[in-house]
Structure 1
Amino acid sequence: MRFSKMHGIGNDFVLVDARRAPLALAPEAIRALADRHTGVGCDQLLSVEAPRDSSCAFYYGIWNADGSPSGQCGNGVRCVAAWLHRAGALALEQAVRIESPSGPVTVRVLDAGRVTVDMGEPLFDPPRIPLLADARADSYALALAEGPVEVGAVSMGNPHAVVVVPDLADPALERIGPQLTTHPHFPQGANAGFVQVLGRGHLRLRVHERGAGWTQACGTGACAAAAVLRARGLVDECVQVDLPGGRLQIDWPGAGHTLWMTGPAAFAFEGEWLAHA
């Protein structure tokens, strides 16, 4: 199986051209491919496929390193757009709708290595995240082994728990992240984002992703952190988000508007995977 290895500020992917036939791999095969010692190694597997929605030009599938499916991936969709541009299927500055497992997004390749994406409007209603809560709130107290933790909750096509912290180097986060990712109040799991506010236009973020663990970057996590803090009135509509792998720009005026994410997408190498599980 031919593949492209790509990354968006360190969040890395194996991307497969499946435009002629949908990709069908068992979870154990995906885990074998994603293994960093005996496979290719990646946070997520992406497939580029024919559209299922007639309003879209393409469909892309997303699978986490543990073989589980994902609804959305912000860094991944930028890589999909860059791959389509290199394949001659997407012109520079051409706005195109492509379909994710959680619905359509609009992408635009700004140059050879930079892509902007309309990620849709953040969803805060608990049933749409999904989150087990009686009513929407700015924050929710979730019980953990260390005690209660206040989280903001939002869906960016996948569920997110956002925690504001004073110090991203706090060793307690290593324990809290995995607990939030699998917390029973998130019936589908959640990406756990820990955000430090450096100013009204500047955030620093770490994310423990469901199905992948700690990653160098999480595009939807950056969107989620900016959206939660914007809804609380703590940041401006244009925010720079620094992750361990690099920087993303998030633009969201607020409720009633869609959120845009802009950042790089890079090719690492091409290969052929032989070790099917």
Structure 2
Amino acid sequence: MTTPASAPRIAAPAQVFAKGHGAGNDFLVLPDPHGRLALTAEDVVRLCDRHAGIGADGVLRAVRCATEPEAAGQASQAEWFMDYRNADGSPGQMCGNGIRVLARYLVETGACRPGTTAIATRAGIRRVHVTPSPAGPVTVHMGHPRLPGPVHLSVSAGSRTWPAVHVDVGNPHAVVLVDCLTDPGDLIAPPVVTPAKAFPDGITVEFVVRPGPDTLALRVHERGVGETRACGTGACAAVAALNPAVGTYTVSMQGGRLRVAVLPDGAMELTGPACIVATGTVEPSLWPGPA
């Protein structure tokens, strides 16, 4: 049946998104200040698809703590909650590049002022410093890394197996020292981490070389995503696994460089580029429905 020419056409509401990245680690920012989006795993997979969607390593839903049940307990410490989802739709506790991109977005849209602001995550409150310049670096205080074990951890990739160090920086990482960054092969398949039962929700793996005392280079296979061009928590985990002295370390990855500062109390700060590269609207068939 055809629609009469005189009938009004009802347009679907425009749904806004932003695209940003930190050292090549890219994200979709979905503004949802009032907590009205029911974001499913299927929604995230559709949006992050690089061929049929917009494409990203993950989704950052920006929602006020007061309107998000998962973050309501943090509302007295932070206005905004980072609801981070990996590209496969699984929730993430923490994302070092993602939180810097989210902070940049909040400043550029006027939701936060330049300077230092607190943002809630599933790993707790993180304080992020954003410079006024869109090209300036963004720094996040990452807290204290933990090395909780298991003591005997190994990672296999390609035809090789290495011992690994478990580091928790709000999310779990297995850090492997290798002779060359090509040693793990193509990393299309996820590395095999043993014992697997220690990480039922998966774990991010860093393959690290150390060209100098304060420089590292690494490749990252991120849980729920695959190999990524950069990983902020991975950079911190790699430094933490090396029993670092107080100071600043430069971490090089495929997408760029990040700086990890080890503070006198053992906490870490992560600094690097974080920029918004595009804003737009999403075709309604890709967009999550109302909560």
Same topology, TM > 0.5: yes
| Kept after mapping to 1: 8 A contact 2:251/2:260 | yes
Aligned length: 261
Alpha-carbon distance in 2 for matches of 1:66, 1:240? 30
What is the match of residue 142 of structure 1?
154
For 1:11-47, what per-residue CA distance to the aligned partner results, in whole angstroms no more than 9, with x for missing partners?
A: 1100011112253222111111111111011100001
Q: In structure 2, do the counterparts of structure 1 residues 182 and 31 end up closer, same or farther at CA, with 3 Å as the change threshold?
A: farther
Deviates more, 1:3-12 or 1:46-55: 46-55
Q: In structure 2, do the counterparts of structure 1 residues 184 and 144 end up closer, same or farther at CA, with 3 Å as the change threshold?
A: farther
What is the match of residue 243 of structure 1?
253
Amino acid paired to 2:125: P
Deviation, 1:177, is 4.7
TM-score (norm 1): 0.87
Matches within 5 A, 1:43-82: 43-51=57-65, 52=72, 53=74, 54-82=76-104
Alpha-carbon distance in 1 for matches of 2:225, 2:85? 10
For 1:170-209, what per-residue CA distance to the aligned partner results, in whole angstroms no more than 9, with x for missing partners?
A: 2546378532399333222110001110111110011000
Residue segments in structure 2 that go unaligned for 5+ positions in a row: 1-14, 66-71
Query: Percent identity between the aligned chains?
Result: 38
Amino acid paired to 1:122: P
Alpha-carbon distance in 2 for matches of 1:266, 1:241? 19
What is the match of residue 14 of structure 1?
28
SS at match of 1:79: helix
What is the match of residue 101 of structure 1?
122
Amino acid paired to 2:268: L
Alpha-carbon distance in 2 for matches of 1:166, 1:187? 29
| Kept after mapping to 2: 8 A contact 1:182/1:190 | no
The two structures, once aligned, show a CA RMSD in angstroms of 2.2
From the CA coordinates, give the structure whose radius of gyration is larger. 2
For 1:237-265, what per-residue CA distance to the aligned partner results, in whole angstroms no more than 9, with x for missing partners?
A: 310000100000001146x4321000011
What is the match of residue 158 of structure 1?
171
| Kept after mapping to 2: 8 A contact 1:208/1:214 | yes
Deviation, 1:267, is 1.4
Deviation, 1:161, is 0.3
Amino acid paired to 1:117: V
Alpha-carbon distance in 2 for matches of 1:35, 1:90? 30
Deviates more, 1:183-192 or 1:260-269: 183-192
TM-score (norm 2): 0.83
Alpha-carbon distance in 1 for matches of 2:226, 2:246? 29
| Kept after mapping to 2: 8 A contact 1:72/1:100 | yes
What is the match of residue 130 of structure 1?
none
What is the match of residue 122 of structure 1?
145
Residue segments in structure 1 that go unaligned for 5+ positions in a row: 127-132
**1:187 and 2:200 aligned:** yes
SS at match of 2:98: helix
Alpha-carbon distance in 2 for matches of 1:267, 1:91? 16
| Kept after mapping to 1: 8 A contact 2:204/2:223 | yes
Amino acid paired to 1:48: A
Alpha-carbon distance in 1 for matches of 2:261, 2:59? 27
Amino acid paired to 1:116: T
SS at match of 1:77: helix
